[in-house]
Amino acid sequence: MLSKKTRYAFRALSYLGENYGKGPILISDISKAKKIPLKFLENILNELKKADLLESKKGKGGGYSLKVSPKKINLATVIRVINGPIALLPCVSLNFYERCEDCDETYCGIRKVMTITRDATLKILEKKTLHDIIFASI
Amino acid sequence: MLSKKTRYAFRALSYLGENYGKGPILISDISKAKKIPLKFLENILNELKKADLLESKKGKGGGYSLKVSPKKINLATVIRVINGPIALLPCVSLNFYERCEDCDETYCGIRKVMTITRDATLKILEKKTLHDIIFASI
DNA sequence: TAATATCCTACCAATTTAGTAGGGGATATT
DNA sequence: AATATCCCCTACTAAATTGGTAGGATATTA
Ligand code: FES
Ligand code: FES
């Protein structure tokens, strides 16, 4: 399951997507509009910025905005940044790979199934973008 | 990601599957063969029993065995018993549904994508059985 | 230089995860 | 009936993760 933090991230990004092209948006505005605890949201947006999905501006007239169009931000990327691995096992993860002790990857049946599952999941999550979820929700 | 406990469950079930039809298998045998902490495994097997996947016998000559053939135990069931929901959001879960506060399901774009993802995942995990992972790993 | 707004570090409580410890109860053999 | 075997149950615990808070440092604008 995705963490609450990840769901907050999606909601915040949706808001930024809805306001794409309108200049910097205040954290406090997003916090109010999407009912996300302000200081927690601050952290989330900062992580998204470090992952190069957002850009920010300090001082008056500052705030956050999407770095690229909502059509270019896919959901898999967001989940990886905030939630971590998408695969169900570390030995199957493309971006967070870790070897399994006491298990030979070449002959592991569980791993084979989880690889298929991962591919099916990614096929969807890498295709669906912020734009898709904003548009679907109007 | 699946918990370590879930991975232990798969390994234990694989062992029981490999020995299907040979009568009760000792927890300690599974523990040794699959390198799973004994007391932890005890707990796991008991949960699988309560979920009606295993049957047990006490006393000498006792142990655990699969209640049905490895071909009839699908991976989704196992994950649900030990790990919990398969869906990425509670509002999308078929077996562990919970409503999202501050979010209208009818218009929620995230939910739509996660529903598609869940279906794709289930299509695989409900089809693949214990037999598949045992056979693939030989 | 004052006001504004993000950035950074540190802390915290609650929950979950990954176990351990120890005895109780059922069963089979002797 | 005694005993050894083996699952069952309750309770406890350490460590990690989750979901936050608090407070100040830093950058920007006016
Ligand atoms: S589960 Fe990772 S290699 Fe078997
Ligand atoms: S995320 Fe569950 S309804 Fe929107």
Q: pLDDT digit string (tens) for B57-79?
A: 999 999 999 999 999 999 999 99
Give the domain-ending residue among A21, A48, A66. Answer: A66
Q: pLDDT digit string (tens) for B78-109?
A: 999 999 999 999 999 999 999 998 899 999 99
Can you give the length of chain A in residues?
A: 138
Lowest mean pLDDT: which of B5-19, B109-123, B124-138?
Answer: B124-138
- pTM for the full model? 0.96
**Nucleotides on strand D lying under 7 Å from protein C-beta:** 4-10, 18-23, 26-30
Amino acid identity of residue B92, one-letter, is V
Q: Using 50, 70 and 90 to split pLDDT, how confident is the model at A102?
A: confident
**Are B93 and B131 found together in one domain?**
yes
CATH code of the domain in which A39 resides: 1.10.10.10
Asked whether the beta carbons of A70 and A15 are under 8 A apart, the reply is no
**Are A75 and A132 found together in one domain?**
yes
Q: Which residues are bridge partners to B57 per DSSP?
A: B63
- Residue A126 CA to ligand 1 center (angstroms) comes to 24
**Are A46 and A31 found together in one domain?**
yes
- Who's near B97: CB < 8 A, 6+ residues apart? B90, B91
**Are B83 and B128 found together in one domain?**
yes
Q: How many domains does chain B have?
A: 2
Residue A136's pLDDT is 79
Domain of B43? 4-66
Q: Which atom of ligand 2 is nearest to the CA of B92?
A: 2
